[in-house]
Chains A and B, each alone.
Chain A
Amino acid sequence: MNRPPQSLRDSSPRGGASNAPTRSSPSGGGGAKRRRGSARDNLVYAAVWLACAAPLAWLAFRAFTGDLGVNPIETLVRQLGVWGLRLLLVGLAVTPAAVILKKPRLVRFRRTIGLFAFAYVTLHLFSYIGVDLYFDFGQLVKDILKRPFITLGMAAFVMLVPLAVTSTNGWVIRMGRAAWSRLHWLIYVIVPLGVAHYYLLVKADHRPPLVYAAILAALLGWRAWRKLATR
């Protein structure tokens, strides 16, 4: 697999937080990694990839065997959304994990995790438009304008698209490291929107979205704390 120089992904302007693991695997994490592209590395990478794909495979299996319950369309749309959100949070957890565990090379998984999150979120949106609304675009427009939770969800998706598009090495080089990092800083807007999107659709039991909100707060809080601590 061809992964980008991970250092680039970490050189975010918001400061020390995520730069730390980068500096420990500098110039060229990419080159170094390629040289060290051992069988073990490939195995670990395959494991991450399979772990990200497993919920989708499981959902597809349940869909084809008619095991999505009494209201299968709702189950499908919700599960795709929940897994998208989970992977977005896992993506945000990579940098803290790399620093705390002193395993800087963990950051090489961020692109895979992020792209999988994008895949789930895209399928979530498409299943809502194509299966739930059955391509009733009039209703879609009304929903986006009138339903705050859908407004937020759509806003998050729209911001996620350029991040997915520019996730390749080529784009990092084309944009330049600073601009690329500024763009990808959007993830700190997108994930809170995703959590709010979930929170707003819940009828009464707000515990599950609050769990996601707490995890998000911890991940962002860690970054803020690092930034202050290294100032």
Chain B
Amino acid sequence: MLIRHRPDLTDNDVTDRGLYLRRREFITGVAGLGLAGLGGMASAAPLAFSKGFSTTEKPTPKDDVTSYNNFYEFGVDKGDPAENAGRLKTRPWTVRVDGACEAPKTFDIDALIKANKLEERIYRLRCVEGWSMVIPWVGFPLKDLIAAVKPTSKAKFVAFETLMRPSEMTGQKWDVLQWPYREGLRIDEAVHPLTLIAVGLYGETLPNQNGAPLRLVVPWKYGFKSIKSIIRISLVERQPPTAWNLSAPREYGFYSNVNPAVDHPRWSQATERRIGEFRRRDTLAFNGYGEWVADLYRGMDLKKFY
């Protein structure tokens, strides 16, 4: 797989080793402060990572990435998550990985981050609403996590679930969607090397509004597939229910691959506005990742499996 380096980064940008080794302390300290009332303000901590598969497109400014979010658990307006996500406590945090596997396990987020080799992946993100960004994620391939629990042959799909905690996720106090937010992938999509579990962006731990402490990133699908603040990942035999599909099945399919040829029933998906740009640009099939993922869907009618 093609690995490109960001030309604007030098070795000087790599996190200092001393700082890297002390990152647990730093995160623990910061989390402590968070509990003391600083909330999400203090959540950004530097991460150590290598450079992975990335687009050479110019990343969307960090301020835009962290202030224009769809994260209905914190409110339905795009400015709401940045405003309200600060109260979410992301430590302690565990992720249960279970279902059709030989070694189901509950992972502590810090142990998980430590156990996996983090990479920066600069991906395009295309929202189903018709806008897009370019985001430098930091994370590790989901396939590594799935391999760790030794899936059985019954693992045909992967189901994901977001935290349900209305006291902190105040948007959950009314049923704009069926809480908790759920998403799903077919197993071959889940173990595809592009499918990422992100724990950071712009070199630091994820801001809460972007799905802290860990989220899915599936760059060739509409953004809502990339579920945030995950607490459970289950290997299952049947296609799992997913939040937007439950809400409007005709509008949001299980697959939801970025596809300019299949319109949303209420608006065109042929073009998109890249945040920061004036003119709309053409939307690419599979968000430009077709070279690597189109084979997953060979023989499928993508108008039917939208």
Contacts and interface: CB of A to CB of B under 8 A. Distances in A.
Note whether A and B form a binding pair: yes
A142 B67 contact: no
A43 interface: no
Most buried by B among A132, A136, A139, A205: A205
B78 A147 contact: no
A50 interface: no
Given A70-B78, A71-B273, A146 B268 contact: yes
A70 B68 contact: yes
B275 A139 contact: no
A148 interface: yes
Given A70-B78, A142-B268, A133 B176 contact: no
Interface in A174-231: 200-201, 203-205
Interface residues of B, number: 24
A11 B129 CA distance: 45
Contact of A147 (B177, B248, B266): B266
A194 B221 CA distance: 33
A134 B76 contact: no
A41 interface: no
Given A71-B131, A73-B278, A139-B270, 9 more contacts: A69-B79, A71-B68, A73-B273, A74-B273, A134-B280, A143-B267, A147-B266, A203-B129, A204-B76
A41 B267 CA distance: 47
A176 to B, nearest CB: 42
Taking chain B's interface residues, is the majority helix, strand, or loop, or is none over half, making it mixed? loop
B266 A149 contact: yes
A71 B275 contact: yes
Nearest to A142: B268
B76 A205 contact: yes
A204 B78 contact: no
B129 A70 contact: no
Given A71-B275, A204-B72, A147 B280 contact: no
A147 B268 CA distance: 8
B64 interface: yes
B68 A148 contact: no
Nearest to B279: A134
B266 A143 contact: no
Contacts of B237: none
Most buried by B among A73, A132, A203: A203
The 8 A-B pairs with the shortest beta carbon distances in the complex, nearest first, are: A70-B68, A205-B76, A70-B64, A204-B176, A205-B176, A134-B279, A70-B275, A147-B267
A139 B268 contact: yes
Nearest to B66: A70
Contacts of B247: 204
Given A69-B68, A71-B68, A73-B273, A201 B266 contact: yes
Interface of A: 69-71, 73-74, 132-134, 136, 139, 142-143, 146-149, 200-201, 203-205
A148 B266 contact: yes
B168 interface: no
Contacts of B176: 204-205
15 contacts: A69-B68, A70-B68, A71-B275, A74-B131, A134-B280, A136-B280, A139-B268, A139-B271, A147-B266, A147-B267, A149-B266, A201-B266, A203-B129, A204-B76, A204-B177
B204 interface: no
Contacts of B110: none
Contacts of A139: 268, 270-271
Contacts of A204: 72, 76, 176-177, 247-248
Contacts of B263: 146
A142 B267 CA distance: 10
B265 to A, nearest CB: 9
B268 A133 contact: no
Contacts of B248: 204
Most buried by A among B79, B263, B267, B273: B267
A204 B278 CA distance: 27
Interface string B99-111: 0000000000000
Contacts of B271: 139
A33 to B, nearest CB: 44
Interface in B150-198: 176-177
A78 to B, nearest CB: 11
A124 to B, nearest CB: 16
Contacts of A74: 131, 273
Contacts of A205: 76, 176
A143 B78 CA distance: 24
A134 B277 CA distance: 12
Contacts of B266: 147-149, 200-201
A134 B282 CA distance: 13
B122 to A, nearest CB: 19
Interface in B61-112: 64, 67-68, 72, 76, 78-79
